């Protein structure tokens, strides 16, 4: 798990259960995307909750999840320097 600590003391990460994050203090967990099937059974990753695009369609859910994680790491995980 990657933890990014901003100069303002905030910590950002892509949530998973590999670390007990509650040990770091009060949590503010927010959804980064919606990975859902479309009407034809293909998968998309909608990153609108963080101001991102819709990725896909993908034949497999695991491909949509991988694209979601890659986009979040590249475009969201490290916030602007102003924080």
pLDDT score, position 50: 94
Rounded to whole angstroms, what are the CA distances from 54 to 18, 27, 42, 50?
Answer: 27, 27, 13, 11
In a domain, 9, yes or no: yes
* Domain region containing 57: 4-75
- 80 is a domain residue: no
Contacts of 14 (CB under 8 A, 6+ apart): 1, 2, 32, 69, 72, 73, 77
**Is it the case that residue 7 has pLDDT exceeding 90?**
no
Considering the domain boundaries, does residue 54 fall inside one? Answer: yes
pTM: 0.84
For residue 6, what pLDDT is reported? 84
pLDDT in tens, 27-75: 999 999 999 999 999 999 999 999 999 999 999 999 999 999 999 999 9
Number of domains forming the structure of the chain: 1
Mean of pLDDT values over 15-26: 90
- 21 in a structural domain: yes
Answer whether residue 37 is part of any domain.
yes
Within a domain: 83 = no
Task: Please say if the pLDDT value at position 8 is more than 90.
Answer: no
């Amino acid at each position: 798990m990657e933890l990014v600590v901003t100069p303002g003391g905030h910590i950002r990460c892509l949530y998973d259960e590999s670390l007990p994050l509650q040990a770091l203090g009060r949590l503010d967990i927010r959804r980064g995307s919606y990975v859902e099937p479309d009407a034809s059974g293909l998968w998309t990753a909608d990153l609108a909750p963080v101001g991102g695009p819709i990725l896909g369609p993908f034949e497999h859910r695991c491909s949509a999840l991988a694209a979601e994680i890659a986009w979040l790491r590249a475009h969201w995980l490290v916030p602007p320097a102003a924080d």
